[in-house]
Amino acid sequence: MKSADKTLLRALRGETLPVPPVWMMRQAGRYLPEYRATRQQAGSFLDLCYNPDLATEVTLQPIRRYGFDAAILFADILLIPQALGADLTFVQGEGPRLSTITGKADMDQLRGVDTIDETLSPIYETVSNLRAALPAETALIGFAGAPWTVATYMIAGRGTPDQAPARRMIYGDPETFDRLIDRITDATIEYLSRQIAAGAEVVKIFDSWAGTMPGRHFARYCVEPVARITRELKARHADVPVIGFPRGAGGHAIGFAEATGVDGLALDTSVDPAWAAATLQPHVCVQGNLDPLLMVEGGDALRRETRAIVDAFSGGPHIFNLGHGITPDADPDHVSIMLETIRG
């Protein structure tokens, strides 16, 4: 099947389909026993990300089990900081740890964009493996973090509840903050461009912490970098479709979609589908937004909430997804119930 005919790409071009294409954030992950087995074999999480054979295998696992309409490359948004020279480890049960960017001196130590492929070339190999291995109808999604979200981890050196260290740098050292955002933006353009050249048919930009950006700075640090990435990728790669995910951005989502030029807008769990159908969907394909907790809860609630989202978005272009990643305590059988409810 040609790329253009795959349901995910048709929805992103603005087609209203009788059954929406469906995939899940973190669909390759710890809720699947086969993922846990491969992860064990690989060693650490980063070993898995940089092993093209095993990263291909875990990306394919949920496709084999469920037949999703799209596969998402198995990797992480924090590989870009690593490629720029940050030390990165994942501490079991605690999440990522990175060397920190506290000011100009740390920023001066970061590597240039021209050397990122020395670190990231195994990822491009995974993408091209995947393109060869996927079923003909399954679309391949590449991804990266949005510069703001990536910067929050680089500045704090870890995940934080409120991204306070990065927000303080916006006020206290705007020069360093601007340089960091611009460096990540440039690196992300090269990284995603290489993913597309290797076979990714769509790319998604995860701004998981967009909701904590002070509103007065949203245009400069959440919109502008994603707009630049989108513009550059579309210029280099024949209008390749881009999905944006400004998680928690609320009312900013309207201006975000318009100003960035993304083809798809991923909605988090907090967004009311009725509001989004009336306000956003006339302008852009929407993706989302089932509460991931329903993959733990299951039962009638899962069927009811799934149907409500399908119905709310049935009048326009829609990609069914969760409002955030599926969690390790989800029941794999609940995913099948969700799919039966969507596909009938």
Pick one of 159, 211, 298, 332: the residue that binds ligand CP3 (CB under 6 A).
Answer: 159
How many residues of this chain interact with ligand CP3, rule: CB under 6 A?
Answer: 21
For the annotated binding site, the residues are 26-30, 76, 153, 208, 324
Examine the residue annotation and report whether 76 is marked as an active-site residue of this protein.
Answer: yes
Examine the residue annotation and report whether 30 is marked as an active-site residue of this protein.
Answer: yes
| Span of 26-34, 228-236, 254-262, 274-282 interacting with ligand CP3 by CB under 6 A | 26-34
Secondary element (H or E) of residue 124: helix 116-133
Contact in structure between 209 and 248 (CB atoms under 8 Å):
yes
Pairing label, strands 202-207, 139-145: parallel
- The yes or no reply on residue 152 touching ligand CP3 (CB under 6 A) is no
Nearest to 145 by CA among 110, 112, 99, 96: 96
Cα dihedral across residues 253, 325, 314, 67: positive or negative = positive
Pairing label, strands 318-322, 70-72: unpaired
Residue numbers 298-327 binding ligand CP3 by CB under 6 A = 325
- The yes or no reply on residue 143 touching ligand CP3 (CB under 6 A) is yes
Name the residue nearer to ligand CP3 (CB basis): 14 or 95: 95
Site track 99-138 with ligand CP3 (rule: CB under 6 A), x = hit: ----------------------------------------
* Set 35, 39, 207, 291: catalytic member: 39
Name the residue nearer to ligand CP3 (CB basis): 89 or 115: 89
Q: Dihedral through CA 314, CA 298, CA 9, CA 231, nearest 10?
A: 100
- The yes or no reply on residue 27 touching ligand CP3 (CB under 6 A) is yes
- The yes or no reply on residue 139 touching ligand CP3 (CB under 6 A) is no
Percent helix / strand / coil, the chain, rounded to 5:
55, 15, 35
Amino acid making up residue 85: G
Cβ neighbours for 43, distance < 8 A, ≥ 6 positions apart:
none
Contact in structure between 230 and 262 (CB atoms under 8 Å):
yes
* Set 35, 153, 191, 221: catalytic member: 153
- The yes or no reply on residue 39 touching ligand CP3 (CB under 6 A) is yes
| Span of 68-76, 116-124, 255-263, 274-282 interacting with ligand CP3 by CB under 6 A | 68-76
Q: CA 29 to CA 295: how far, in whole Å? A: 13
Examine the residue annotation and report whether 158 is marked as an active-site residue of this protein.
Answer: no
Six-digit token string for 58: 């875990």
Amino acid making up residue 41: Q
Contact in structure between 290 and 323 (CB atoms under 8 Å):
yes
Name the residue nearer to ligand CP3 (CB basis): 249 or 312: 249
Q: How far is the CB of 204 from ligand CP3 (least distance, A)?
A: 7
- The yes or no reply on residue 200 touching ligand CP3 (CB under 6 A) is no
Q: CA 241 to CA 246: how far, in whole Å? A: 16
* Set 50, 66, 69, 76: catalytic member: 76
| Span of 75-83, 179-187, 223-231, 289-297 interacting with ligand CP3 by CB under 6 A | 75-83
- The yes or no reply on residue 211 touching ligand CP3 (CB under 6 A) is no
Q: Which residues are designated catalytic?
A: 26, 30, 39, 76, 153
